[in-house]
Amino acid sequence: MKLLCSMMRDNQLLSVQEWPLKCGGGTETTQNLIIIILKIFNIPFNQQIYDREVDEISAGLAKADIIYLTLNALKYLTTESIPIGITLISRLVFSAESSKQFAQ
């Protein structure tokens, strides 16, 4: 989780975006990287086998600053790709009991 979060840091995303296209960098690569990482982080919220661990997973993601990283990463995404980040944030907010009380 820490490795994936470190890949979502602004300096890493900017480096990938500025990397030459012919070497595998660029805007599209940056978007694909973000989308893949967000899909991985969404897995526990889409699978019933993780229902018991959702609070623990949410807490771990919160400690890793995933909400901040996701919000920051949105600027690298196209309008069509933004919903995956918003979905993750909403699932984090509405999965933990303390977050539900805060949101209400």
Residue 47's pLDDT is: 83
Q: Which of helix, strand or coil describes residue 53?
A: helix
Residue 100's pLDDT is: 52
pLDDT tens digits along 56-82 = 888 888 888 888 999 999 999 999 999
C-alpha span between 93 and 99 (Å, rounded): 5
Residue 64's pLDDT is: 87
The whole domain housing 71 covers: 2-103
pLDDT tens digits along 44-56 = 888 888 878 888 8
Give how many domains the chain has, as a whole number: 1
- Tell the residue number behind the tokens 């933004």, with chain if given: 82
Q: Are 26 and 17 in contact (CB under 8 A)?
A: yes
Q: Is the pLDDT of residue 101 over 60?
A: no
Helices (H), 1-104: 2-7, 10-18, 27-46, 54-63, 66-73, 82-95, 97-103
